[in-house]
Amino acid sequence: MSQKHQTLGEFIIEHQSSFKYTSGELSRLINSIRLAAKVVNYEVNKAGLVDILGTAGETNIQGEHQQKLDVYANEKFIQTLVNRNIVCGIASEEEDDFIAINSNDQNHQNKYIVLMDPLDGSSNIDVNVSVGTIFSIYRRVTPVGTPVQQDDFLQKGREQVAAGYIIYGTSTMLVYTTGDGVNGFTLNPAIGTFYLSHPQMQFPESGTIYSVNEGNYSHFPQGIKNYIKYCQKEEGDRPYTSRYIGSLVSDFHRNMIKGGIYLYPTSSKNPNGKLRLLYECNPMAFIAEQAHGNASDGHTRILDITPTELHQRVPFICGSKNMVHKVEEFMSAAASS
Ligand code: AHG
Ligand code: MN
Ligand code: MN
């Protein structure tokens, strides 16, 4: 089929045979995410119209105040995956522990687990700025037909079979990879169909945008401070442009299209960084690498980190390959000086 006007549904069917495991289960799973994305999109879009804003009065495990749309998106994605009987386990940034599905049913043959950040950039909801959803998919490592265990969720990022994000922005897009490049689909809201709009997305090798919360500057490690000074220096194609939306999905998406780097380093406020390895860093790192970009904690490839707990945080530096390498150079120079 020609790529012109290809829908996400058609794309999934056409590419099903290129998955490593071709049971059709992964296709059904991505289809379910597509469906939940449309439901959440509808709600996000009307957030300004109805009295849905504000906090839900609950606090998640990281001590953050949840806003209503976080709760809503979390419920919708979980409900869709559970009702369609498509996965054996789910872990979410908004849940204290992982959810085992049909754990007492030995005939339960589902092999996949999903980890997600149901609403990323939630502090932007009140001010009509883009937010997103991030998802990450693995095959379970424990035997099919038994209850899922924590080990199924604590896999290295390089074991992911698929990952993606939805960006609820000026238009709504679903961007994902199954390990064979990155493709972006834009929602036509009039008919509720995602169309392939950005085939084979790639980070430019270098870029001129850096995205970091510079308010934390004085708390950053010396290597990061030196890199920020380097970005600001007048030389060659520098100074770079600073752009920080405060929603990882949106900053990442812009940087992938234009060329740039996103940094959430350690700081004295966040000694391990702020972003969560399993729900944010691993899926974005997988997408970045599939789009010829790079993702690092400053020293180590994100996808090689061994997770030790579900809600683990790591420093995250992600974007155009040459820019990420430059940060690593600054980090090791500062460490050895
Ligand atoms: P979430 O809304 O899921 O908690 O994620 C917010 C994350 C990320 O999306 C964003 O880039 C970063 O936190 C912003 O943090 P600061 O406000 O500390 O810069
Ligand atoms: Mn997030
Ligand atoms: Mn979130």
Cα(239) to centroid of ligand 3, in Å?
A: 32
- Statement to judge: residues 191 and 116 lie in one domain: yes
Cα(114) to centroid of ligand 2, in Å?
A: 16
Is the CB of residue 134 less than 8 Å from the CB of residue 283? Answer: yes
Q: What φ, ψ does residue 152 adopt, rounded to 5°? A: -65, -30
Strand ranges in 218-289 using DSSP code E only, listed in sequence order: 241-242, 260-264
203 found inside a domain: no
Task: Give the position, in ligand 1's atom list, of the atom nearest the Cα of 122.
Answer: 2
Q: How far apart are the first and last CA of the chain?
A: 57
Cα(170) to centroid of ligand 2, in Å?
A: 19
- Ligand 1 pocket: which of 92, 167, 274 to mutate (most atoms within 8 A of CB): 274
Whether the full predicted model's pTM is greater than 0.75, yes or no, is yes
- Ligand 1 pocket: which of 126, 129, 248, 313 to mutate (most atoms within 8 A of CB): 248
- Residue 44 makes CB contacts below 8 A (sequence gap 6+) with 69, 73, 125, 131, 168
Cα(216) to centroid of ligand 2, in Å?
A: 18
* 242-256 pLDDT per residue, tens: 999 999 999 999 999
Q: Please tell me the number of the ligand nearest to residue 276's CA.
A: 2
- Statement to judge: residues 182 and 79 lie in one domain: yes
Beta-carbon neighbours within 5 Å of ion ligand 2: 117, 120
* Domain final residue, candidates 136, 164, 198: 198
112 found inside a domain: yes
Task: Give the position, in ligand 1's atom list, of the atom nearest the Cα of 274.
Answer: 13
Q: Is 144 helix (H, G, I), strand (E, B) or coil?
A: coil
- Statement to judge: residues 169 and 217 lie in one domain: no
Give the model's pLDDT for residue 43.
87
Cα(121) to centroid of ligand 1, in Å?
A: 5
Q: Write the CATH number for 315.
A: 3.40.190.80
Give the model's pLDDT for residue 55.
58
298 found inside a domain: yes
- Statement to judge: residues 168 and 231 lie in one domain: no
- Statement to judge: residues 257 and 185 lie in one domain: no
Give the model's pLDDT for residue 236.
97
* 197-233 pLDDT per residue, tens: 999 999 999 999 999 999 999 999 999 999 999 999 9
Q: Measure the CA–CA gap between 320 and 323, rounded to whole angstroms.
A: 5
Structure tokens at 324: 């990420």
- Statement to judge: residues 14 and 163 lie in one domain: yes
Closest CA to 166 of 249, 244, 65: 249
**Total number of domains constituting the chain:** 2
Range of the domain at 177: 3-198
Task: Give the position, in ligand 1's atom list, of the atom nearest the Cα of 124.
Answer: 2
Cα(249) to centroid of ligand 1, in Å?
A: 10
- Statement to judge: residues 113 and 248 lie in one domain: no
- Ligand 1 pocket: which of 165, 166, 213, 269 to mutate (most atoms within 8 A of CB): 213
Please list the residues that pair with 173 across neighbouring strands: 167, 186
* 73-107 pLDDT per residue, tens: 999 999 999 988 889 999 999 999 999 998 777 77
Q: Write the CATH number for 178.
A: 3.30.540.10
Q: Please tell me the number of Cα atoms within 13 Å of 311 on its side-chain side.
A: 12
Cα(229) to centroid of ligand 2, in Å?
A: 27
* Domain final residue, candidates 140, 173, 198: 198
Give the model's pLDDT for residue 105.
74
Kindly list the protein residues whose Cβ atom lies closer than 6 A to any atom of ligand 1.
93, 117, 120-122, 213, 246-248, 274
- Statement to judge: residues 145 and 52 lie in one domain: yes
Q: Measure the CA–CA gap between 257 and 263, rounded to whole angstroms.
A: 17
Is the CB of residue 93 less than 8 Å from the CB of residue 118? Answer: yes
Q: Measure the CA–CA gap between 22 and 16, rounded to whole angstroms.
A: 7
Q: What φ, ψ does residue 301 adopt, rounded to 5°? A: -60, 130
Task: Give the position, in ligand 1's atom list, of the atom nearest the Cα of 64.
Answer: 4
Give the model's pLDDT for residue 108.
81
Give the model's pLDDT for residue 233.
98
In the chain, which stretches have pLDDT less than 70?
A: 1-3, 19-23, 49-58, 60, 64-67
61 found inside a domain: yes
- Statement to judge: residues 11 and 133 lie in one domain: yes
Q: Is the dihedral of CA 202, 221, 282, 70 positive or negative?
A: negative
